[in-house]
A = this chain, B = another copy of it.
Amino acid sequence: MAGNIFGNVLRLMTFGESHGPGTGGILEGCPSGMTLDLDLIRNEMQRRKPGQSGISSPRKEDDEFEILSGVFEGNTLGTPIGFLIRNKDARSGDYEATKELYRPSHADFTYEEKYGLRDYRGGGRSSARETASRVFAGAIAKQILMKHGIAVNACVTQAGKIKLQIPPENLEFSLAENNVVRCPDAQTAGQMIAYIEKLREEGDTCGGVITCLISNAPAGLGEPVFDKLQAELAKACMSIPAAHGFEYGSGFAGAEMKGSAHNDAFIKVENGRIRTATNFSGGIQGGISNGMNIYFRVAFKPVSTIKTNQKTVNHAGEEVVLKAEGRHDPCVLPRAVPVVEAMSALVIADFLLRNSFVKFD
């Protein structure tokens, strides 16, 4: 059983290698009768595409999509939405030199071990190019959420050792789109950009952290005991290429706290609504949303493609030197922001739909 399907009611299946004819997928479970905002989808695709700034890969892909089904006269039919994003700037010749060797911390070796062969051009299926399909589907999920007033926003809060020290609930996400690194604080963004540009010159790369916040989600989302809200969010985010860590609410820092300090007291606010005084729970209790902001952080390792000669071995087990070629991002974080949002939107929309038949009316 392969792993190319995501979700339960809102189900996405994707396909595509980096240098094949294209990537794409099928999304089923989107409710019928929804007017699709194609500009919103295009905008999300633009946020992810390569070549968008001086700190991203120079590969030229417009990431234009074609919707093949499921939409009629602008509205969703309730039938599966097929979509295709053709690869355009696929320079397969660039990869001849690496076809026999295993690039360090890439998936060349593991794909070959698992499948016995691999499409060596640009990483094939293991390339982050497949995230274009995630962003397309996530843009539809976002529209489902918007109908319910729910917003999903992410931004870069760490690049290398440069960190933005603001509580997640105080982040001004709208400001993140003002700069190429997608950090909402202009000063920190400037430091990050300078750092990444320096790395690019050195031929090196860095990792970082993306913080995501989901606002206005209703209480009741999440399905105990295995499909808890945080469990599905963790799976969703950890399936993104290069993700190495996930924490929600108090996260790893919460492990140091005492229960008396960590407990979120319930309080009654205006119009009888119940909420919590603090939110160390990150909006989730017992695996179910409690109506507060849901927030979490995702750590990404540094990009593996560097412009320095590296020792490695080839298919025959011989020691060889990998001379860096190809196009890459010195820091993948800015382009990963819409991917984190997309995966989160898919999770929340899926739970929203799953929750619709839990209680008898």
A186 at the interface (CB under 8 A from B): no
- Residues of chain B lying within 8 A (CB to CB) of residue A116: 32-33, 78, 359-360
A228 at the interface (CB under 8 A from B): yes
A180 at the interface (CB under 8 A from B): no
Q: What is the bound-complex CA distance between A3 and B289, given in angstroms?
A: 15
User: Which chain B residue lies CB-closest to A311?
Assistant: B265
Find out whether the CB atom of A21 lies under 8 angstroms from the CB atom of B258.
no
Find out whether the CB atom of B220 lies under 8 angstroms from the CB atom of A114.
yes
A263 at the interface (CB under 8 A from B): yes
Interface string of A54-92 (1 = CB under 8 A from B): 000000000000111110100101111110100000000
Find out whether the CB atom of B255 lies under 8 angstroms from the CB atom of A300.
yes
A323 at the interface (CB under 8 A from B): no
Residue among B3, B32, B358 making CB contact with A228, cutoff 8 Å? B3
Residue among B2, B255, B285 making CB contact with A110, cutoff 8 Å? B285
Find out whether the CB atom of B263 lies under 8 angstroms from the CB atom of A306.
yes
Residue among B13, B208, B243, B359 making CB contact with A78, cutoff 8 Å? B359
Find out whether the CB atom of A69 lies under 8 angstroms from the CB atom of B16.
yes
Q: What is the bound-complex CA distance between A317 and B267, given in angstroms?
A: 8
- Residues of chain B lying within 8 A (CB to CB) of residue A153: none
Find out whether the CB atom of B239 lies under 8 angstroms from the CB atom of A290.
no
Find out whether the CB atom of B239 lies under 8 angstroms from the CB atom of A81.
no
Find out whether the CB atom of B252 lies under 8 angstroms from the CB atom of A104.
no
Interface residues of chain A: helix, strand, loop or mixed (majority): mixed
Find out whether the CB atom of B285 lies under 8 angstroms from the CB atom of A69.
no
Q: What is the bound-complex CA distance between A245 and B238, given in angstroms?
A: 12
Find out whether the CB atom of A223 lies under 8 angstroms from the CB atom of B1.
yes
A46 at the interface (CB under 8 A from B): no
Asked, given contacts A257-B207, A258-B302, whether A226 binds B6 with beta carbons under 8 Å apart, the answer is: yes
- Residues of chain B lying within 8 A (CB to CB) of residue A245: 245-248, 251-252, 254-255
Most buried by B among A20, A106, A301: A301
Find out whether the CB atom of A244 lies under 8 angstroms from the CB atom of B239.
no
Residue among B24, B69, B354 making CB contact with A17, cutoff 8 Å? B69
Which of A37-45, A117-125, A168-176 lies at the interface? A117-125
Find out whether the CB atom of B238 lies under 8 angstroms from the CB atom of A234.
yes
Interface residues of A in 228-275 (CB under 8 A from B): 228, 230-239, 241, 243-252, 254-268, 272, 274
User: Which chain B residue lies CB-closest to A330?
Assistant: B259
Find out whether the CB atom of A1 lies under 8 angstroms from the CB atom of B9.
yes
Interface residues of A in 294-343 (CB under 8 A from B): 299-306, 308, 310-313, 317-319
Residue among B9, B147, B226, B267 making CB contact with A5, cutoff 8 Å? B226
Find out whether the CB atom of B259 lies under 8 angstroms from the CB atom of A205.
yes
Find out whether the CB atom of A118 lies under 8 angstroms from the CB atom of B77.
yes
Asked, given contacts A17-B77, A259-B205, A264-B104, whether A2 binds B238 with beta carbons under 8 Å apart, the answer is: no
10 contacts between A and B (CB under 8 A): A5-B5, A15-B80, A32-B115, A32-B116, A33-B117, A34-B360, A113-B288, A126-B224, A204-B259, A245-B252
Beyond the given A22-B68, A24-B82, A268-B313, please list 4 additional residue pairs across the A-B interface where CB-CB is below 8 A.
A15-B79, A77-B117, A225-B239, A354-B357
A-B pairs with lowest CB-CB distance, top 5: A107-B286, A3-B227, A3-B223, A15-B82, A245-B247
